[in-house]
């Protein structure tokens, strides 16, 4: 048995506190494992940060190439949505919106004037 095998040999598992003790005296809790695991995953897949939720999706598909492809496709879609979210309206769109707003305001003003003159039975 090598030194590495001796170091990772389990000594004790305490189910009440959720602590695992190894032969070299190291103790590991679930929270510590989650923190270390998330730190390990940072920037590991194609320069993208993979979160714990992403890893759950990977494990469901058993880390196949298809799941990696889906993750990268989602990251690409998110990047495109961020990039296109701050686009300005074109001149034609601005004119169309302005026309609709102007016509609506004029119709409301005409309605109020006609109602004030008593020409509408409302």
Q: Which residues pair with 45 in a beta bridge?
A: 48
**What is the rounded CA–CA span in Å between residue 41 and residue 43?**
6
**So what's the pLDDT on residue 1?**
46
**What is the rounded CA–CA span in Å between residue 11 and residue 20?**
8
Q: What does the pLDDT look like over 8-31, one tens digit per residue?
A: 777 888 888 888 888 888 888 888
Token pair listed for 31: 């929270």
**So what's the pLDDT on residue 99?**
96
Query: 27 near 21, Cβ under 8 Å?
Result: yes
SS3 80: helix
**So what's the pLDDT on residue 47?**
54
Q: How does pLDDT run along the chain (122 residues), one tens digit per residue?
A: 445 555 577 788 888 888 888 888 888 888 888 887 777 766 565 556 556 666 666 665 555 556 667 777 777 777 777 767 667 778 998 999 999 999 999 999 999 999 988 888 77
């Amino acid at each position: 048995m090598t030194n590495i095998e001796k170091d990772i040999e389990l000594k004790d598992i305490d189910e009440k506190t959720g602590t695992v003790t190894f032969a070299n005296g190291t103790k590991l809790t679930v929270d510590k494992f989650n923190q270390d695991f998330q730190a390990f995953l940072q920037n590991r897949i194609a320069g993208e940060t993979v979160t714990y939720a992403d890893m759950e999706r990977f494990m469901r598909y058993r880390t196949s190439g298809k799941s990696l492809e889906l993750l990268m496709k989602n990251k690409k879609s998110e990047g495109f949505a961020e990039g296109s979210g701050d686009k300005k309206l074109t001149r034609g769109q601005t004119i169309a919106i302005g026309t609709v707003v102007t016509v609506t305001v004029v119709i409301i003003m005409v309605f109020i004037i006609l109602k004030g003159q008593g020409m509408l039975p409302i």
